Amino acid sequence: MSDIGLAARPGHTVTVLWGSTAGNEEGQYFAGRNHTTEEVRSDVLALGPELRSWHLNVGAGANFLLWVSVTAIVLGLLGFVLTGGSLENRLSLAFGGLIAGAVLGFIAWAVVGSNLGPERRARAIADEINRLAEQRLLAA
């Protein structure tokens, strides 16, 4: 029970939930209720690496490299195409556009992309599982 932080002593009545992959006879505890003390704890992240094998669909990822590279390429191409003059001038503006695009892509990812990505959705799924586990344990 230490994985989920539920205190229990000999003589206490405890209900636990555990999770594992399909067909696996063994798993990890991720929620529990001590009926003697009325304490309820739930932490689906206690499943650790085994949670990865559940293959939860957490939506499209907001990949850092995608945000940076697309923004850099678009600004680089715009710098090359929309400017006139010699090839040397156009290439230097395209290079500047690539650098500026990479910086803007990083800022955009930090502000928007990291909050849309799989990390946030995985945390939301874990919170929902924890909330449901606690509700079920309170009803037990």
Q: What is the mean pLDDT of each run of 10 residues along the chain (140 residues)?
A: 74 80 72 84 68 54 77 93 87 93 89 67 72 77
In sequence order, which ranges of the chain are alpha helices (DSSP H)?
64-81, 87-108, 114-116, 118-139
Count of CB atoms within 10 A of residue 85's CB?
9
31 and 41 inside one domain: yes
* Number of independent structural domains in the chain: 2
Q: Which domain holds residue 28?
A: 14-59+118-139
Cα atoms in the 13 Å half-sphere on the side-chain side of 103: 5
105 and 122 inside one domain: no
Dist CA 118 CA 135 (whole Å): 25
Judge whether 8 lies within some domain. no
Confidence at residue 85, expressed as pLDDT on a 0 to 100 scale: 84
Judge whether 81 lies within some domain. yes
Confidence at residue 59, expressed as pLDDT on a 0 to 100 scale: 46
Confidence at residue 72, expressed as pLDDT on a 0 to 100 scale: 94
Confidence at residue 55, expressed as pLDDT on a 0 to 100 scale: 56
71 and 101 inside one domain: yes
27 and 44 inside one domain: yes
112 and 73 inside one domain: yes
Dist CA 115 CA 104 (whole Å): 16
User: Tokens standing for 111?
Assistant: 């502000």
Q: What predicted TM-score, i.e. pTM, was given to this entire model?
A: 0.44
73 and 97 inside one domain: yes
